[in-house]
């Protein structure tokens, strides 16, 4: 049976096939675009959504529609994160020869993939469509964006602003197409029919992306574990943990889910966290909070995700002091019998105590062995030895040093990480890459190999293997 006949078997498949055909036609028009053209287009796409006034409008409407996070967090993402992402990639060469290896006489040429199928989550629906769209167009691709149903209106608005900007700059509007009435079936069809999937969202959708038969770039579960050692600047650490834990009410998968304090600074650092608005949850309140976050004992309750501490406390049924910004839950164990050791998607952190950096590493691996392995961890320290020991001893793709985790590991102006909302977690997290996913992951590369001026000469066995190996094995 022909592919077209297969696609037309269901109304949803036929509807998506029409969108993919439009997207493919638009992509064909820019397949030979110049570097100057694509860079002009992505500048216009970002400005259309982040320009003064529009950024405020999008931030406000995102909170109104999704009822997740807060205005300040959404504003930073649509106004600052989009600008930072553009700045991060604007000078990258993505057309023609993009890399050369003179010693191997190899050059690499960039080629577009085609139609990118992108998933956009309800927790970051303001900047995700923009970042994914400019990454696609930077590689001379088109993109179809499938939003979470809870964010369909803001997704359509953002995509239409980018479409209007593209037309004004002489490019096809259909380089960016939103799914305006999303459904799981429709998203699955986009993933089947596109050329590459860029998946950001819950575990079921990421698994569906990998199972679609289309090459996919997915992300793993976040459960960031942060260590504070006895050399750290404790005031700095407390301020940055507050920022990271409460940014957009912990909508980010990079929010501090567990904090490990070394014995020597435990009491002092805990007081500093309490002074920053941390409220300790123990006893009956711990049970109430657990029941509020995990409604059936297993799955995170969507009603409390990315909500304020006051909202969650009222929902759970306990009182908190005025000024409480986040919850601190002292914990000793990890795994399914210790729910707070996992990802919480709320302004809640588990608190652990370790005698030294070695125990902190053991705890980090145990916690992330339950959830979050491969994603990220962090450390506040002035000891390069401790920093490198943590990095070497943990199964993680990224380690943030003396930085607010949720605002840093996806890239920020104070570090060199690539700007993105798609964080590969490597084989540890069931992903094919450890990268901060950007346009470079959304292209094909042609390697051009010319003969070496002087051929390589395989050395003698003695030089290649060494006398010891020859004697031992032979």
Give the containing element (helix H, strand E) for 461: helix 461-465
Return d(Cα 336, Cα 298) in angstroms, integer.
9
Return d(Cα 360, Cα 259) in angstroms, integer.
10
By CB neighbour count within 10 A (0-12 exposed, 13-18 middle, 19+ buried), where does 297 fall? exposed
Return d(Cα 453, Cα 431) in angstroms, integer.
39
Residue of 449, 408, 411 lying closest to 87 (CA atoms): 411
User: The tokens of 217 are what?
Assistant: 């770039």
Residue of 179, 219, 213, 185 lying closest to 199 (CA atoms): 219
By CB neighbour count within 10 A (0-12 exposed, 13-18 middle, 19+ buried), where does 336 fall? exposed
User: The tokens of 311 are what?
Assistant: 């909202």
Contact by Cβ (8 Å): 248, 77: yes
Return d(Cα 401, Cα 412) in angstroms, integer.
13
Residue 53, SS3 per DSSP: coil
> Is 253 marked active-site?
yes
* Tokens 């992306």 belong to residue: 209
Task: For residue 349, give Cα distances in angstroms to 18, 68, 82, 163, 331.
Answer: 46, 18, 28, 40, 10
DSSP secondary structure letter of residue 451? -
Contact by Cβ (8 Å): 27, 20: no
Task: For residue 55, give Cα distances in angstroms to 58, 100, 252, 278.
Answer: 5, 39, 19, 30
User: The tokens of 358 are what?
Assistant: 């070695």
Return d(Cα 115, Cα 238) in angstroms, integer.
44
For 16, list phi and psi in degrees, rounded to 5.
-65, -40
Catalytic pick from 50, 159, 253, 377?
253
Q: Which active-site residues does the annotation give? A: 253
């Amino acid at each position: 049976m022909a592919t077209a006949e297969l696609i037309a078997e269901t109304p949803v498949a036929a509807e998506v096939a029409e969108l993919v055909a439009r997207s493919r036609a638009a992509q064909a028009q820019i397949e030979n675009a110049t570097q100057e053209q694509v860079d002009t287009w992505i500048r216009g796409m970002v400005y259309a959504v982040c320009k003064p006034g529009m950024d405020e409008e999008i931030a406000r409407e995102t909170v109104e529609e999704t009822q997740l996070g807060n205005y300040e967090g959404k504003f930073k993402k649509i106004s600052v994160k989009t600008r930072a992402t553009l700045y991060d990639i604007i000078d990258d060469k993505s057309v023609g020869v993009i890399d050369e290896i003179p010693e191997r006489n190899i050059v690499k040429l960039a080629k577009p993939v085609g139609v990118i199928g992108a998933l956009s989550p309800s927790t970051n629906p303001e900047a995700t469509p923009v970042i994914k769209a400019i990454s696609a167009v930077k590689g001379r691709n088109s993109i179809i964006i499938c939003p979470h149903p809870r964010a369909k209106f803001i997704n359509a608005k953002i995509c239409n602003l980018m479409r209007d900007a593209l037309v004004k700059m002489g490019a096809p509007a259909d380089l960016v197409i939103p799914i305006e009435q999303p459904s799981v079936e429709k998203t699955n069809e986009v993933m089947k029919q596109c050329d590459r999937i860029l998946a950001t969202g819950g575990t079921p959708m990421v698994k569906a992306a990998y199972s679609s038969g289309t090459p996919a770039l997915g992300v793993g579960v976040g459960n960031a574990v942060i260590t504070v050692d006895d050399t750290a600047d404790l005031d700095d650490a407390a301020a940055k943990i507050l920022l990271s834990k409460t940014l957009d009410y912990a909508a980010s998968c990079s929010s501090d889910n567990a904090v490990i304090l070394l014995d020597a600074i435990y009491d002092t650092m805990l007081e500093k966290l309490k002074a920053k608005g941390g409220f300790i949850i123990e006893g009956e309140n711990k049970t109430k909070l657990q029941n509020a976050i995990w409604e059936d004992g297993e799955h995170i309750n969507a009603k409390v995700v990315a909500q304020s501490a006051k909202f969650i406390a009222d929902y759970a049924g306990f009182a908190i002091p005025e000024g409480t910004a986040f919850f601190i839950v002292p914990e000793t164990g990890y795994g399914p019998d210790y729910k707070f050791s996992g990802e919480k998607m709320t302004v809640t952190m588990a608190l652990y105590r370790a005698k030294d950096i070695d125990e902190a590493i053991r705890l980090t691996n145990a916690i992330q062995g339950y959830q979050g392995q491969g994603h990220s961890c962090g450390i506040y320290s002035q000891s390069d030895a401790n920093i490198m020991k943590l990095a070497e001893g943990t199964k993680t793709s990224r380690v943030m040093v003396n930085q607010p985790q949720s605002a840093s590991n996806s890239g920020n102006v104070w570090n060199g990480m690539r700007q993105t909302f798609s964080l590969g977690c490597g084989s540890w997290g069931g992903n094919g890459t450890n990268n901060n996913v950007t346009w470079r992951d959304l292209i094909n590369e042609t390697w051009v190999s010319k003969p070496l001026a002087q051929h390589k000469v395989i050395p003698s066995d003695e030089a290649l293997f060494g006398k010891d190996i020859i004697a031992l094995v032979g």
